[in-house]
Amino acid sequence: MNLKCKCSIAAKWIYRYQLVILFITISFVCLCYGATLYQSLEKQKNAPFELKAVYSGKDGITDQLLSKINQVKGIKGVTIVQKQSAKVMFGEYEIQANIVGVNASYLNVALSEGSCFKDSDSSVRLMVNKAALVKLMCSSEDNAGDKKVPDISKEKWLSKPVSVQLAGTNHKVTGSICGILAQESATPQIYMTNSCLDQLSKAKKDGKEKITSPDTIHVRTENIGKSDQVSQEIAELGFSASNLNQSLLQSWKLLEQKEKMYGLLGLLSMAAGIIVFHLFMKMQRINEADQYLRLREAGASKEDLFLIELIEIIMVSLIVIILGSIFMIITRTLFYSVTCLIILLIGIAVTAMNLMFVQ
């Protein structure tokens, strides 16, 4: 019996493996998708993680104290964070907003336009997000009452001066917008260097208004795994630390739950496929003995029958691999390393089952 004849017989018999194909395909898809979630989650957890820490000491946060914090193992950066309410004026636009003071060396953000300010800047330079620009445009009489979101691209934000006046003072300074943040956020965000914000705050002191020293810092750790250790060490310096982004932690928990669910479903489907295949091969020997008898009478040897069923298994494996790969490509969750590993495991499994149950 030649190879063409064996392949023809195997192709006619392949319909018998519908349940096996279904279970193994589900397993293939679930395991690959679960592996995708795992890799995505690990990548996020290995990224720098931010903590918010509040100082409880009486002397305020000094440069010496910040230097000690920078020496703590696992910390990549630290900055004092202070907020001041201010009136921001840009041409005909005017809004009341909180300006956040940070160290430029700490701020690590992507920009859609412009550049980041520097700690050495002597003039007032602001970095804003798109939500702040939208709020500015909505403040004009032309846009008042308009429910549509104004098009911020109509203005040349980086080429015109902007005025800043801290609340409680009559002192107004002129500066510029140096960069527009690329990160999407519904909350207006306006950043300035701590040094510039300190200079503006002097006007409040001159006005005999009580000024409180900043007591909050942001600490960037190497990853979330270092955050507990860092929290304990800076607690010894008088800081009480907390996670800056609770919503991120919640999203990680959901991803972990999905990862476990898809992994368990994939393993159960794989087990179901193997069990169904095992039972089917036993029943097939009993229910279709006449087909094997006719082949033996036609001159087929035991080796020929073995090769026919082996070709069937290979065809089933190819169908499963093609269906799984198509699904993974469509859903954009194909990871080549994981896919290749599962394909290899399927190939080894079906070959082993064939040798164990078919002979």
**DSSP calls for 282-305:** HHHHHHTHHHHHHHHHTT--HHHH
Amino acid 208: pLDDT: 53
DSSP-H helix ranges across the chain: 3-13, 18-45, 63-70, 130-138, 194-206, 227-235, 246-287, 289-297, 302-330, 336-353
pLDDT above 90 coverage of the chain, percent? 0
Q: What is the pLDDT of residues 254-299, one digit of tens each?
A: 888 888 888 888 788 877 877 777 676 666 655 555 666 666 666 6
Amino acid 336: pLDDT: 45
Rounded Cα distance between 214 and 359, Å, is 79
| pLDDT range class, residue 34, cuts 50, 70, 90 | confident
Amino acid 141: pLDDT: 56
Task: Please state, in angstroms and as integers, the Cα–Cα distance from residue 57 to each residue in 62, 235, 236, following that order.
Answer: 11, 11, 11
Q: Compare 359 and 59 and report the one with higher pLDDT.
A: 59
